[in-house]
Structure formats: structure tokens, C-alpha cells
Amino acid sequence: MKFNKQIAIILVLASFLLSAVGAAYYFYTQNTKTITKMNQKVKVFVVNKPVNSGYQFSKDDLKEHFITQQELITKPLSSGEIIGKYAKVDMFLNEMIIKEKITDTLEKKAQDPIKSDYKNNSYNMAFRMFNNPNYTLQKGDIINIISTYPTTADKLPQYSVQYVAKDVEVLGFILLGKPVAEVFNKIKVKKIENKKEVEKEEYVKADEIVIDIKSDILLNLINDFNRGSQLWMVKTKSNVEEKKQITQSNTQDTISSTDQQDVQKTKNYPYRWYIPASSALKKVATIEYADSADKGLTQTAIIKSDFITQCKENRDDLIIVKVNSAYLRTQPTTRSQAILTVYKNYMIPYTDKIDSWYRTCDGLFIHENTVEEISPNQAQEFLNAR
């Protein structure tokens, strides 16, 4: 009986030993497998150049790279899962491409609806103020504005038509009091259908246009609108585009003599001095003698002004006509009578400036929108270049 107990104890201890050895061997093999697996090389894709956010990947942007399994922090992507996708963030050379850094669609960066870097004044005008509102305008377009108003009170009055603002940049638009970047925008509107109120999305055009305009031009614009309530907008090219076209046209080959016969000649505007139409003006002055015994003694004198001489001798302050034609008026207002028509490149001496009107050497007036100031040296250079 004593012998059997010893055997039983030995068997129990032997079973424990075998279990321990088996467990040790199992953990050893598992650990060996884990180490072997973690040291296995895995193929990943990295970028072969620095890329910026929003960049679309192509096959040529990818480079194969191998790292160990233990260095891998996320599931590697195949080339098919990368090509055609966009980068969410900026990436460096040899940076691994992972799912969190790419996207299927390009996310547009939010832009300010109204251009903020304007040169003069940001002014919003209702589209209804224009007789021909142009709803195809885009932010950055350039427009000219024409004003029209009656100059007489007749049943069939005469009208003054002129450019009141030129080269005005469109900064943006306003819809229902909110700034928007486009004329037409999709908004939610409520409608009654089948006696039920439903909400739908519809395109609605902007109420106002925001422009960049000079202070003095703005005052003229408001003044002209109050006179006639007629404004017209004309989309035009910017000065930069016009200069670019002129440069390109100057570099082209000259037209052959046979082709010139079929081309209509453009009107030439040579540089020239302005010569008054009237050589002299008579003014009547009444002279009263204060020291005379007869206090009622007066004398009338006739004063003659030689405009041709005045215009020739006073050429320190000059303006040049920059439009094809412009009017010289008797008073500094478009309501006054137009006396003469002057043409482009006419150089005119002036004496002073009243608001937006120049007074010429012969006492007439011309608007600042049709001319620009030049120096006597510039005038001489223009004449020498003829």
C-alpha cells in the first residue's frame, strides 16, 4: 500500500513536469513564429518627390519600399488604391502613403466671396439701377458705366450720354444681404405645393454688384443717376489685356502690299496743339470814377482777349485728349452747350481745374474722364516723334 502511494506521487509530479515542458515549448515556438513574422519584409508605396496638398497621384509618383512588419503602423495600400487619389496634406520625399493622407475628391479651399484687396473704394450697387444688368459677370471682370440724362425740359428732350466710370473692377456680389462670389447661387426656398409647404433648392441671382471705384468718380456716378436714373454697363477688357494685345500685334509680321489693299485703314490721330476756334473775345467793362466830383460819372471800355496768343504763350500746364473725341463746353457741367469737338492726341493748355473739369486756355471746359495731364517735355517728345 505504501508503495502505491509513492508511485502515485511520482506520476503526479511527472505529469506536472511534462505539462511545464510542453507549455515552455509551445510558448517558445509561438514566440519564434512571432519574431519571424515581425521581421518579414512588407512592400509599401512612398512618394518619390515632395507633393503639396491637393496633388493627384499617378503611377510615376510612386516608389516601392520594403519595411519590416514591426515597423508597419497601418495597413499598407496597393498602387490601385493610390493612383488617381488626391493628397490631403503636404508630403515629403520618401514619405509612406497611408489611407489617412489621401482622398477620393479634391477639397476646394474656401475663398472670400468679395475680393478684399481693392485699390480705391468698395461700393455696392443694385442691379436694378442699370438698364442692362449683365448677369454673366464674374468676380474680377472689368466694366465701363455709361450715364444718360435729359439736358432740356422739352417733350422730346436732348440727352447727354457719356462714360461716367471706366475700367471698374467687379469685386463680387451680394445676395439677400450676404456676400457671394457668383451672380447665381443655389439657396433653399419655401414653396406651397399641394397645400403643403415644402423646401426646395433653386438658383437665385444676386441683388447687388460690388465694384472698386474712385471717390470722385463715385460722386459723378451718383450725381448722374439722380439726374436721369439711367445707367448702362459695358463689359470690357482690362488695361493689362489691352497692352498685351498691342504688344503681340506689334511683333507680328507686317501685312504685304497686296493684302493692304483689302484692309480698311484705321483713322490716324496725330499729336497736335489745340488752336482756339475764336481768335479773340470782346468783354465790356464799366469803369466808375470814385474821386470824380460827379459821382455818377462812368465810362465803358471794351477789353479784347487774344486766345491764340494766350494758348501759345501759356503751355506750362497741359492736358492731352485720350479718347477719340470730346466736347469743349461753356460751363463745367454736361448740361452746358458744347462749343467744339476735339480729337484724340490734341494737346491743350489749361489754366485751372474746377471739380472734375479743366478750364482751357480759351475759357472753355473739358471733363477729366476724356483727358490726362502731361508735362511740356512730354508734349515736345510727342511732337518730335511724329
pLDDT over 90 percentage in the chain: 30
What is residue 358's predicted lDDT score, i.e. its pLDDT? 94
Query: Is the CB of residue 231 less than 8 Å from the CB of residue 225?
Result: yes
pLDDT band at 253 (very low <50, low <70, confident <90, very high): very low
Nearest CA to 77 out of 107, 47, 117 is that of 47
- The three cell numbers locating residue 86: 488626391
Q: How many Å apart are CA 306 and CA 281, to the nearest integer?
A: 7
Mean pLDDT, rounded, for 335-363? 90
Q: pLDDT tens, 179-205?
A: 998 999 888 878 888 888 888 888 889
Q: CATH 2.30.30.40 region(s) of the chain?
A: 272-277+306-384
What is residue 211's predicted lDDT score, i.e. its pLDDT? 93
C-alpha distances out from residue 162 to 100, 199, 233, 326, 327, Å: 60, 46, 12, 10, 11
Handedness of CA 33, 34, 39, 44 (dihedral sign): positive
What is residue 258's predicted lDDT score, i.e. its pLDDT? 46
What is residue 130's predicted lDDT score, i.e. its pLDDT? 93
What average pLDDT does the chain have?
A: 81
Least confident of 88-102, 262-276, 336-350: 262-276
pLDDT band at 262 (very low <50, low <70, confident <90, very high): very low
Greater model confidence, 329 or 33: 329
Q: Is a pLDDT exceeding 70 seen at residue 16? A: yes
Q: Is a pLDDT exceeding 60 seen at residue 138? A: yes
Mean pLDDT, rounded, for 350-363? 91
As assigned by CATH, the class of the 41-103 domain is alpha beta
pLDDT over 70 percentage in the chain: 80
- Report pTM: 0.40
Query: Is the CB of residue 343 less than 8 Å from the CB of residue 325?
Result: yes
What is residue 371's predicted lDDT score, i.e. its pLDDT? 94
pLDDT band at 143 (very low <50, low <70, confident <90, very high): very high
Q: Is a pLDDT exceeding 90 seen at residue 70? A: no
Mean pLDDT, rounded, for 147-155? 76
Q: CATH 3.90.1210.10 region(s) of the chain?
A: 41-103
Which DSSP helix (H) or strand (E) runs through 36?
A: helix 2-38
Mean pLDDT, rounded, for 350-372? 92
What is residue 252's predicted lDDT score, i.e. its pLDDT? 52
What is residue 254's predicted lDDT score, i.e. its pLDDT? 46
What is residue 42's predicted lDDT score, i.e. its pLDDT? 84
Q: How many Å apart are CA 316 and CA 28, to the nearest integer?
A: 105
Q: Is a pLDDT exceeding 90 seen at residue 347? A: yes
Q: pLDDT tens, 295-314?
A: 555 555 555 556 778 888 88
What is residue 263's predicted lDDT score, i.e. its pLDDT? 44
CB atoms within 10 A of CB 5: 9
What is residue 364's predicted lDDT score, i.e. its pLDDT? 92
Q: What is the CATH number of domain 272-277+306-384?
A: 2.30.30.40
